[in-house]
């Protein structure tokens, strides 16, 4: 049976008392209402102690009512959905909510590490830089683990995030950020003009401060005005209101990142719905109406549960119908904050005193005090706080130096307000100091942004309404719309300039500047003493402002204290930099759909479905999934590969090579372009013929290789390696568009259009004859090695046929429109059965080419030259081509460069491994003797032992020499014999039969 809500006011507030919600905190079952936050519900249940602080494990409560909260961080949810460091002040209460306090052991009330605070003098700012140095090895073994265990507040989930996240794009003329009075007015003015408007609001209701205050607009409760505004905006066709949506970052080109918490107010997201949605909003203009954040006053033990920002106190009383305490003291240095007294009194909460830090006593505030029948202390401060786990009383130092103790369980503090300038600085703008407000206000703004309301330093309600409207209208105008007439709503509440006291001098107890990171006044003093005298240094040395709240309630006070101890004018000490995100964002949200198998799309080859049916094992190659090998039942991988290779050498095999990049290059100057991008010549290639080619980068190293067929005088069919397909296409387009725009060349990728199969092996022609329509003669005379042409297959299907061989066997590549790819592979295998055909995968493909000594991936690594690869003879001396000049530099042609060799183990049983380094025989394995490395290896079923390709200093001159293949990371060290790269049919007779 959950307890009643002892601190819930009998009436008032924007909560729905009809909807009671149950929730758990540290295992205790409690209740709250729809419309509560976890924080307001905890307070309603009289829970004040909600967490322990970072360093000293001090008891902490709830300071604020918004996303600036430094203290009330909890672990929300459990198991894989556990969310550490969740602000109790922003999480909407839902039925079944489960939260736990953090950073305490064994319990929240009794926490062993609370002992830390007694060592505070040692654990002062940066103490760790000065010790833990001896002995060196102890840092990793002893000190660091201890520090790491103590640090960090909550615990991360222990399993993958089970929820679904997504991203979305939105476009508008005007983005209004924040839906308080300024934001609503801005949105109204903008939307009325006909502009497309998005109004983004972090909270789950519109109104901003108006939800928390008892203001009036046009003589009626401000909330009526909010309802009317909402209704009108809803009705306007081009206005979109996005609740629970925080604009977290400003980026170039009017791009704004916003996080929509779609289902954070549900125990788990409903089926088919995401938990959160990351919006990328592109807006021509933005109006920032993010309001202002109240700042505390720094005094001794100012971190005790029950000490709360005055604005938050009003929010809990007025919006949530909660009594944050029974007997309150209001401590502030501006008239406006003392309104809190009236709100409390009217809610039936006793107000013990108004402690007014301003030097001269204020009749208005005096009156406030009398109305609330509270005592009034002018020119006074709170000097001490009684109570550990919660405030029990305070000691006031009066103007005439008397100390007076007051009973209370709630202290409402206000040291003034800081405009929320954060989003104005994301594009490097720096805010400027306002003397009038004693706060930083926006200065240089991101292009297209303007600021209104409290965010711009307009603190009066009328000013916010007018300012918002003006900014909205201005933005509309800038987008080419004509704003309708202005309304100039009049409102209660104006406010005076601030003269903050920042901190209570010589108080007692720890005076916290940054509550979450436990940075105290003495830390700031120590830092200054050690030379960290500007905010950026102070921050990094003390961690002030580096916690999850990014110092929203701490930075200003930090600068003030620093100014004090360094005897400088606060306006001159400067500030740290605000960076995105405005409020922390889950990594999942930025990843959206792209995780697990959907991290990146997978390109599936035309034969994929068929290969799956054959039980193929697939491998990722670049963006593609390719069949690695096709194991038969019970067959070991190596055996499968051996069989596939042998079958190509002895009978015939088929392999899907569709993943190669394929480019149709057409136009009367196509040949000229290819001559300029390839090291060798293509303009001389006869139509109906294919040729192997190499292209270089402009710096002279090899970029890519492949075969190109000339299908007609003005039509080449270029193939690239699978991995470089996109790069090469871009390169060709650069050459055609930028370097030689005068050429008549058109190119388009046809990689997807053609399903291309290599049919290789002595019986290849027999198979192809059954596929290619009889009208085409593919005999050796009619269609010799390196012939290419357009044919039809299987009764009329258009196809391209090439006599190419990567395997060194009699081989063809046949291509059909991809929609026939599945049918063709089935047909080839069906027709090939008679000739013993078997599919082979990329593994066998690799073995075959290594047996032939063709360079590929392992050798084309961007660090090699044509000469390194034994392709030097391809370089044409007759023409300029990309990379020609730089390729001629001595360093690239130096004969001692590691160049391509074949390798075979001296002891034929030995296994070779790629990545092993080549060391002269008898020399010790050391850097000095490192002469190259093994680039590719394969077990050659044809030869019955392992084979390799390698790059070796002076390689070609060293055939016959024996060297060590040293592989320390795999404890391998075998002797290998240097030989020519090609092991099978060096004369190339087989592929010409």
Q: Using the minimum distance from each CB to another protein, give the nearer residue, 259 or 344.
A: 259
Instruction: With CB under 8 A as the rule, give the number of residues binding another protein.
Output: 191
Instruction: With CB under 6 A as the rule, give the number of residues binding ligand NAD.
Output: 32
* Beta-ladder partners of 966: 917, 973
The CA-atom distances, in angstroms, between 696 and each of 111, 634, 872 are 67, 45, 12
Q: Does 151 bind ligand FMN (CB under 6 A)?
A: no
Binding mask 312-341 for ligand NAD (x = CB under 6 A): ------------------------x-----
Angle between helices 637-650 and 842-852 (to 10 degrees): 60
Q: Using the minimum distance from each CB to ligand NAD, give the nearer residue, 55 or 339.
A: 339
Q: Using the minimum distance from each CB to ligand NAD, give the nearer residue, 209 or 676.
A: 209
Q: Does 183 bind ligand NAD (CB under 6 A)?
A: yes
Dihedral pair phi/psi, residue 432, rounded to 5°: -120, 160
Dihedral pair phi/psi, residue 526, rounded to 5°: -60, -45
Nearest to 368 by CA among 402, 399, 330: 330
For ligand FMN, which residue of 14, 157, 546, 604 counts as binding (CB under 6 A)? 546
Residue 739 interface partner, choices ligand FMN, ligand NAD, another protein, none, CB cut-off 5-8 Å depending on type: another protein
State the nearest-atom distance from the C-beta of 418 to ligand FMN, in Å. 17
User: Can you tell me the distance from the alpha carbon of 991 to that of 993, in angstroms, rounded to the nearest whole number?
Assistant: 6
Cis status, amide bond into 106, omega within 30 of 0: yes
Restricting to residues 89-128, name those near another protein by CB under 8 A.
Answer: 121-122, 124, 127-128
Residue 78 CA neighbour count, 13 Å, CB half: 9
Cβ-Cβ contacts under 8 Å for 127 (sequence gap 6 or more): none
Q: Using the minimum distance from each CB to ligand NAD, give the nearer residue, 200 or 262.
A: 200
Instruction: With CB under 6 A as the rule, give the number of residues binding ligand FMN.
Output: 4
Restricting to residues 780-799, name those near another protein by CB under 8 A.
Answer: 793-798
Strands 797-802 and 811-817: antiparallel
The CA-atom distances, in angstroms, between 373 and each of 187, 917, 985 are 41, 88, 107
Q: Using the minimum distance from each CB to ligand FMN, give the nearer residue, 579 or 593.
A: 579
State the nearest-atom distance from the C-beta of 239 to ligand NAD, in Å. 16
Q: Does 636 bind another protein (CB under 8 A)?
A: no
Residue 70 tokens read as 């430094």
Instruction: Give all strands of the β-sheet with 746-749 in edge-to-edge order.
Output: 689-696, 702-712, 715-720, 661-666, 746-749
Residue 388 interface partner, choices ligand NAD, another protein, ligand FMN, none, CB cut-off 5-8 Å depending on type: none
Residue 582 interface partner, choices another protein, ligand NAD, ligand FMN, none, CB cut-off 5-8 Å depending on type: ligand NAD
**Listed ranges 274-282, 365-373, 632-640, 649-657: which one lies at the site for another protein (CB under 8 A):** 274-282
**Listed ranges 38-46, 178-186, 368-376, 655-663: which one lies at the site for ligand NAD (CB under 6 A):** 178-186
Q: Using the minimum distance from each CB to ligand NAD, give the nearer residue, 495 or 949.
A: 495
Residue 641 tokens read as 């590969």
Nearest to 416 by CA among 436, 443, 438, 397: 438
Neighbours of 611 (CB within 10 A): 23
Cβ-Cβ contacts under 8 Å for 833 (sequence gap 6 or more): none
* Beta-ladder partners of 291: none
Contact present, 688 and 789 (Cβ < 8 Å): yes
Q: Does 421 bind ligand NAD (CB under 6 A)?
A: no
Binding mask 516-535 for another protein (x = CB under 8 A): ------x---x--xxx--x-
E strands within 335-492? Answer: 350-356, 375-378, 381-386, 393-397, 403-407, 410-414, 417-419, 432-434, 439-441, 449-451
What is the sign of the dihedral through the CA atoms of 343, 346, 351 and 355?
Answer: positive
Angle between helices 222-235 and 181-192 (to 10 degrees): 30
Nearest to 241 by CA among 258, 263, 254: 258
Binding mask 924-963 for another protein (x = CB under 8 A): -xxx--x--x--x---------------------------
Restricting to residues 441-480, name those near ligand NAD by CB under 6 A.
Answer: 453-455, 459-461, 464
For another protein, which residue of 109, 432, 486, 594 counts as binding (CB under 8 A)? 594
Dihedral pair phi/psi, residue 615, rounded to 5°: 75, 25
Q: Does 534 bind ligand FMN (CB under 6 A)?
A: no
Residue 278 tokens read as 């990351």
**Listed ranges 20-28, 207-215, 383-391, 589-597: which one lies at the site for another protein (CB under 8 A):** 589-597
Residue 459 interface partner, choices ligand FMN, another protein, ligand NAD, none, CB cut-off 5-8 Å depending on type: ligand NAD
State the nearest-atom distance from the C-beta of 72 to another protein, in Å. 14
Binding mask 199-238 for ligand NAD (x = CB under 6 A): -xxxx----xx-----------------------------
Restricting to residues 245-284, name those near ligand NAD by CB under 6 A.
Answer: 246-247
For ligand FMN, which residue of 255, 577, 668, 863 counts as binding (CB under 6 A)? 577
Q: Does 579 bind ligand FMN (CB under 6 A)?
A: yes
Q: Give me the residues that bind ligand NAD (CB under 6 A), please.
A: 177-183, 200-203, 208-209, 246-247, 289-292, 336, 417, 420, 453-455, 459-461, 464, 493, 495, 582
Q: Give me the residues that bind ligand FMN (CB under 6 A), please.
A: 546, 550, 577, 579
């Amino acid at each position: 049976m959950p307890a009643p809500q002892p601190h819930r006011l009998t009436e008032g507030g924007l909560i729905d008392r009809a909807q009671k919600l149950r929730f758990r905190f540290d295992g205790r079952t409690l209740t709250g209402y729809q419309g509560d936050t976890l924080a307001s519900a905890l307070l309603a249940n009289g829970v004040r102690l909600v967490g322990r602080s970072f360093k000293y494990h001090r008891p902490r409560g709830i300071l604020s009512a918004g996303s600036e909260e430094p203290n009330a961080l909890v672990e929300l949810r459990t198991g894989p959905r556990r969310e550490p460091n969740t602000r109790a002040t922003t999480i909407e209460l839902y039925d079944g909510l489960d939260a736990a306090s953090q950073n305490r052991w064994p319990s929240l009330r009794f926490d062993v590490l609370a002992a830390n605070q007694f060592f505070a003098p040692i654990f002062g700012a940066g103490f760790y830089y000065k010790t833990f140095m001896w002995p060196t090895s102890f840092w990793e073994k002893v000190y660091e683990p201890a520090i790491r265990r103590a640090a960090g507040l909550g615990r991360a989930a222990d399993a993958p995030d089970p929820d679904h996240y997504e991203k979305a794009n939105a476009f508008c003329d005007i983005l209004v950020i924040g839906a308080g009075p300024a934001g609503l007015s801005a949105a109204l003015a903008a939307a009325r003009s006909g502009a497309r408007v998005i109004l983004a609001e972090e909270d789950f209701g519109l109104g901003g401060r108006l939800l928390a205050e008892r203001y009036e607009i046009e003589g009626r409760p401000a909330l009526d005005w909010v309802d009317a505004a909402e209704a009108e905006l809803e009705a306007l066709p081009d206005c979109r209101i996005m609740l629970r949506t925080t604009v977290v970052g400003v980026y170039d080109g009017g791009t704004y990142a916003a996080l929509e918490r779609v289902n954070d107010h549900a125990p788990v997201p409903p089926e088919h719905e995401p938990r959160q949605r990351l919006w990328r909003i592109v807006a021509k203009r933005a109006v920032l109406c993010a309001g202002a954040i109240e700042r505390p006053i720094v005094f001794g033990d100012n971190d005790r549960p029950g000490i709360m920002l005055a604005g938050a106190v009003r929010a809990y009383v007025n919006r949530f119908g909660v009594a944050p305490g029974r007997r309150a003291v209001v401590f502030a240095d501006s008239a406006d904050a003392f309104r809190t007294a009236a709100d409390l009194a009217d809610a039936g909460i006793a107000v013990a005193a108004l402690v007014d830090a301003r030097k001269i006593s204020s009749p208005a505030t005096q009156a406030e005090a009398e109305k609330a029948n509270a005592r009034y202390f002018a020119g006074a401060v709170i000097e001490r706080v009684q109570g550990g786990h919660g405030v029990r009383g305070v000691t006031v130092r009066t103007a005439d130096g008397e100390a007076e103790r007051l009973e209370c369980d709630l202290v409402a503090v206000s040291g003034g307000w800081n405009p929320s300038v954060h989003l104005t600085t994301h594009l490097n703008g720096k805010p400027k100091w306002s003397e009038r407000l004693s706060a930083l206000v926006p200065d240089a703004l991101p292009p297209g942004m303007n600021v209104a309301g409290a965010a711009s330093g307009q603190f009066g309600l009328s000013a916010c309404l007018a300012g918002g409207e003006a900014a909205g209208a201005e933005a509309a105008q800038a987008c080419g719309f004509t704003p309708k007439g202005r309304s100039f709503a009049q409102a209660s509440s104006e406010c005076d300039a601030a003269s903050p006291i920042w901190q209570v001098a010589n108080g007692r107890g720890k005076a916290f500047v940054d509550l979450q990171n436990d940075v105290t006044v003495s830390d700031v003093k120590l830092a200054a003493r050690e030379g960290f005298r500007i905010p950026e240094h102070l921050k990094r040395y003390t961690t002030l402002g580096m916690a999850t709240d990014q110092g929203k309630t701490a930075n200003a006070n930090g600068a003030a204290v620093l100014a004090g101890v360094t005897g400088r004018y606060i306006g001159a000490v400067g500030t740290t930099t605000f960076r995105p995100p405005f409020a922390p964002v889950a990594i999942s949200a930025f990843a959206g759909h792209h995780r697990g198998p959907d991290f990146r799309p997978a390109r599936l080859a035309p034969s994929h479905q068929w290969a799956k049916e054959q039980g193929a094992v697939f491998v990722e190659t670049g963006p593609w999934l390719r069949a690695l090998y096709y194991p038969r039942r019970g067959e070991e991988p190596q055996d499968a590969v051996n069989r596939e290779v042998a079958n190509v050498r002895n009978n015939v095999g088929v392999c899907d090579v569709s993943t190669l990049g394929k480019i149709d290059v057409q136009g009367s100057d196509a040949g000229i372009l290819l001559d300029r991008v390839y090291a060798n010549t293509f303009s001389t290639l006869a139509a109906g013929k294919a040729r192997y080619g190499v292209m270089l980068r402009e710096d002279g190293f090899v970029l890519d290789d492949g075969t190109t067929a000339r299908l007609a005088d003005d039509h080449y069919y270029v193939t690239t390696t699978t991995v470089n397909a996109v790069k090469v296409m871009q390169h060709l387009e650069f050459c055609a568009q930028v370097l030689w725009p005068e050429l008549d060349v058109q190119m388009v990728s046809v990689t997807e259009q053609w399903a291309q199969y290599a049919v290789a092996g002595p019986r290849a022609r027999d198979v192809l004859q059954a596929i290619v329509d009889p009208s085409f003669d593919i005999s050796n005379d009619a269609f010799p090695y390196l012939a290419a042409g357009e044919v039809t297959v299987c009764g009329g299907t258009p196809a391209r046929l090439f006599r190419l061989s990567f395997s060194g066997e009699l081989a063809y590549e046949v291509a059909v429109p991809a929609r026939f790819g599945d049918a063709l592979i089935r047909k080839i295998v069906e027709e090939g059965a008679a000739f013993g055909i078997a599919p082979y995968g990329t593994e066998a493909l690799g073995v075959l080419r290594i047996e032939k000594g063709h360079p590929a991936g392992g050798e084309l690594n961007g660090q090699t030259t044509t000469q390194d690869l034994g392709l030097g003879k391809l370089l044409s001396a007759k023409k300029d081509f990309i990379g020609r000049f730089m390729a001629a530099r001595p360093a690239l042609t130096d004969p001692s460069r590691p160049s391509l060799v074949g390798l075979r183990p001296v002891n034929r049983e030995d296994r070779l491994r790629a990545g092993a380094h080549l060391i002269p025989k008898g020399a010790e394995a050391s850097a000095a003797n490192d002469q190259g490395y093994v680039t590719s290896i394969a077990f050659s079923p044809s030869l019955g032992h392992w084979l390799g390709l390698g790059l070796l200093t002076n390689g070609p001159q060293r055939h016959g020499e024996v060297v060590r293949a040293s592989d320390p990371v795999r404890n391998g060290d075998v002797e290998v014999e240097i030989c020519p790269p090609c092991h099978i049919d060096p004369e190339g007779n087989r592929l010409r039969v």
